[in-house]
C-alpha cells in the first residue's frame, strides 16, 4: 500500500477528493498525512474529520529562508513514512533541493492546460487570450515550476460570458475528477496519462 502525504494551503477540496477516492476498495494508496503551510487552513479540519493525521508548519516565521521552512516541513512528512507527495492547492514554491528529494514521487495539480499558463491567474489569462477551452493538469513536480511530465489533463469549454470565477468553478469540478484518477494509476505504478474527455 503506497502511503500518500497531501500538502495544502487552503480549503483542500482537491485533498478531500483524493482522500475520499483512496477510501474506495482496491485503491493502491492510503492517506497518511495532510500538511499545510497555514495552521488555519480549513482543509486541516476537513482532513481530521475524515480521520487523516494532520500537521501544519507556518511558513511566515521563516520569511525568505525557504530551506529552513522546508527542513521543518520535512519532519512530519518523514515521520508519516509517505512514499508519494501530492501538492493540492499548495501555494508555496519548493526549492530544487526539496523537489529533488521527492523526484519521481511528487505530483501537483495546476489549473490550466500546461504548458499553457504556468504560474498564477490562469483562468483570467485563458479568457484574455480568447481560448475556446481551458482545464487542469496533473504533473510530476520538477525543479522548474509547473513544468514536469504530464500525468493527466481535463478539458472544459469556455462559455460565453465566463468570468475567471465561473471558469475556475468549472475547472475545479474537473480537478476533483482528474487528480483521483491520476493518483489511482500512479499509486499502482501506472504512468499512462489520464485524458478526460
Ligand atoms: C484552486 O484554485 C485549484 O484550482 C488549485 O488550487 C486552488 C485551491 O484548491 N489546484 P483546493 O480547493 O485547496 O484543493
Tens-digit pLDDT profile for the chain (197 aa)?
999 999 999 999 999 999 999 999 999 999 999 999 999 999 999 999 999 999 999 999 999 999 999 999 999 999 999 999 999 999 999 999 999 999 999 999 999 999 999 999 999 999 999 999 999 999 999 998 889 999 999 999 999 999 999 999 999 999 999 999 999 999 999 999 999 98
Pick 2-191's CATH classification: 3.30.530.20, 3.90.850.10, 3.40.50.170, 2.60.120.260: 3.40.50.170
Residues 6+ apart with CB under 8 A from 50: 16, 19, 20, 23
Give the residue, by CA position, lying nearest to ligand 1 atom 6.
Answer: 89
Residues 139-143: contacts with CB under 8 Å, at least 24 apart? 139/107, 139/108, 139/110, 139/114, 140/104, 140/106, 140/107, 141/85, 141/87, 141/94, 141/99, 141/102, 141/106, 141/107, 141/108, 142/99, 142/103, 143/96, 143/99, 143/100
In whole angstroms, give the CA distance from residue 5 to residue 147. Answer: 21
In whole angstroms, give the CA distance from residue 197 to residue 181. Answer: 13
> Residue 83 Cα, ligand 1 centroid: separation in angstroms?
22
Among candidate residues 180, 3, 177, 175, the one with its CA nearest the CA of residue 102: 3
Flag whether the pTM goes above 0.85: yes
Quickly tell me which residue has 489549473 as its cell: 111
> Residue 179 Cα, ligand 1 centroid: separation in angstroms?
11
Report angle CA 150, 141, 110 to the nearest 5 degrees.
65
Residues 115-119: contacts with CB under 8 Å, at least 24 apart? 115/147, 118/145, 118/146, 118/147, 119/145, 119/146
User: Would you name the residues annotated as active-site residues?
Assistant: 110
ω into residue 163 within 30 of 0, thus cis?
A: no
- Which residues lie with the beta carbon below 6 Å from any ligand 1 atom? 8, 10-15, 88-89, 109, 111, 172, 175
Ligand 1 atom at minimum distance from 111 CA:
4
Ligand 1 atom at minimum distance from 88 CA:
14
> Residue 13 Cα, ligand 1 centroid: separation in angstroms?
7
Instruction: Give the pLDDT score at 197.
Output: 81
Amino acid at each position: 500500500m503506497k502511503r500518500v502525504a497531501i500538502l495544502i494551503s487552503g480549503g483542500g477540496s482537491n485533498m478531500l477528493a483524493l482522500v475520499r477516492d483512496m477510501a474506495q476498495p482496491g485503491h493502491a494508496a492510503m492517506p497518511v498525512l495532510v500538511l499545510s503551510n497555514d495552521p488555519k487552513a480549513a482543509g486541516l479540519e476537513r482532513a481530521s474529520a475524515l480521520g487523516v493525521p494532520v500537521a501544519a508548519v507556518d511558513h511566515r516565521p521563516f520569511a525568505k529562508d525557504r530551506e529552513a521552512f522546508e527542513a521543518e516541513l520535512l519532519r512530519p512528512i518523514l515521520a508519516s513514512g509517505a512514499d508519494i507527495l501530492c501538492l493540492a492547492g499548495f501555494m508555496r514554491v519548493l526549492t530544487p533541493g526539496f523537489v529533488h528529494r521527492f523526484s519521481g514521487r511528487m505530483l501537483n495539480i495546476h489549473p490550466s492546460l500546461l504548458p499553457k499558463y504556468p504560474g498564477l491567474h490562469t483562468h483570467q489569462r485563458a479568457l484574455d487570450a480568447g481560448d475556446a477551452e481551458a482545464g487542469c493538469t496533473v504533473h510530476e513536480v520538477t525543479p522548474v515550476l509547473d513544468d514536469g511530465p504530464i500525468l493527466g489533463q481535463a478539458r472544459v469549454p469556455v462559455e460565453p460570458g465566463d468570468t475567471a470565477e465561473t471558469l475556475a468553478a468549472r475547472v475545479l469540478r474537473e480537478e476533483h475528477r482528474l487528480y483521483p484518477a491520476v493518483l489511482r494509476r500512479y499509486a499502482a505504478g501506472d504512468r499512462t496519462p489520464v485524458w478526460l474527455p
